Structure 1
Amino acid sequence: MRFLISLCVSLLLLINGEIINGQTTEPTTSISDPCYDYNTLDEYWRDIRQNSYQYSGYDDTLVEWSGWYRLYLNGESAQMSEWCVSDAGCGGETGLSLNGSHPTLEDGVETREVVGTHAWWWWGYSHECGAYNSTSIRVKACPGDYYVYEFVKPIISSPRPMYCAVAFQSISSDPCYNYESLDRPWRANNESGDYICDNMFSWNGWYRLFYYGMDIRMSETCVSSYSCNTDINLWLSDPHPQIEDGVVIREVCGDGYWGSCCDYKSRPIRVKACPGNYYVYELVNPLFWWCAGYCTGTVLFSFI
């Protein structure tokens, strides 16, 4: 009987692992989880929210990619961009972004298409999103609110392609109660006033928008050229969030000289709906050669 019991135990150990000198080991066929087995990639020039013209000599086709990677920007956890940004090469000439949203924890490992937009505006219609299709990559959402990517060599038909990243720092305090007031009525459609050039403004943190002392929000619809006292009028291409949504990321569009309401894609911003019927925005410097400004509507709103 003891022999049979020992034999059964040995067989179970062999199924789940190996016996070496009386000790069991982990199965040799186990596959490591990329959420805990990745390479760290922290390179500041990949940030789409920075001016990439200062460092445009990088090329991800020259990198020896191997395995999975987690993105950082200056030590802060980052993610690959889901947005096309005009004139942002993120260190190269063709900024690569995901053609769609990231997976959720429940999705596991997912394959995502990668598209690119050329960085240099004087080379024709470089502002068109998805001008290039690159090699698809695998992506996984991980516990702890971060992603890992199985980066591969991009298709070399696009000049100097680079995987672009964007970091959104954790909020140390609720921005609904920690913001700066911005009451500049001339941001509203067809309101005369000072010329707006938000590219030159030192944005820092969160802002609540006012119109002669009354709450107002960024426009969610196309703003025609020069109607809010700037060259490129910036507006949200998606609806504002609800209170239960918390902090969300929104894409910012800008009208241009070719007749399209979204000729340009500016840097994405964070937005939050707040108790008390108002919004706050984490505004950043637009990425354009010409003056650009965040535009508001002229009609007050209510989301409660």
Structure 2
Amino acid sequence: MQADLAAVEEAAKDLYIRALKILPPDIKAGIDRLAADETSAVARGVLETMRTNIRVAEDQENLLCQDTGIPIYNVAIGRGVQVDGHALKQAIRKGCERATREHPLRSSVVHPLTRRNNHTSCGFDVPVIHIDFDEAPERLSIEMIPKGSGSENNSFLKMAVPAEGIDAIKAFVVDCVIAAGGKTCPPTIVGVGVGGTSDLCVALAKRAATRPLGTRCQDPEGAELERVLSAAVNQLGVGPQGLGGDGTAFAVHIELAHTHITMNPVAVNMQCHSARRARAVLTPQGIEYGF
């Protein structure tokens, strides 16, 4: 299969728009679940406002949130797919820019020093494009995640001491959720990266934060820690939008990597209640959109 770069560009454009307007079903179900279990009247009211916002956005084809985020594209190239890597990135970049220019989207991307906004959602190394490979044949998958600043500004890394063990990880995650409070627009997905190097650990936390609800860490020890930390975080009382309540987080997600014998890095990256993402799969038969 020869990758159709025009189709890639179109998909990159459409995915940005879809992600900003349509919340994935697992996130909507997560809000419903928290609302059903919530004991605080104030928190239930906040969650109902969130549900109303979702309905209005979908009915009016409007944005779920005014923050269009930093655009992130995760690309998986299947077996037998032929593609020019540089041209692939350029097609995604052009699609991202077209989405911003052709639709009423606020560009949130600025130069880090001058703060100049070119109103394209593009810049140095933005959109963020990650390319990986997939064993599935004859398919190219693109996932688009607009990452808002409220959750992204509350990102943390600690190079813990190995002798402190799992207790250091637990304490760090709980402390980060407390420190973030309502600034992450909870309920959140708390993404935790454990292991690797400092940069890999942070990347793992982002991957964990943007996983669909209901997925589990592939490592059994990691999955058990997810369960323990999810319960711990939801005992903090931060609640929806930081106004108190039972539902501080949809879940704690963990991704692991082996690390050095003298290191125990742990990172936290959170995703807000409007956990937006969209996916397209390109095959010889065409493009299929989903989440």
Q: What TM-score do the two structures reach when normalised by structure 2?
A: 0.26
Higher Rg of the two aligned structures: 1
Q: What TM-score do the two structures reach when normalised by structure 1?
A: 0.25
- The structure whose residues are more often helix, as a share, is 2
- The structure whose residues are more often strand, as a share, is 1
More relative contact order in 1 or in 2 (CA 8 Å, sep 6+)? 2
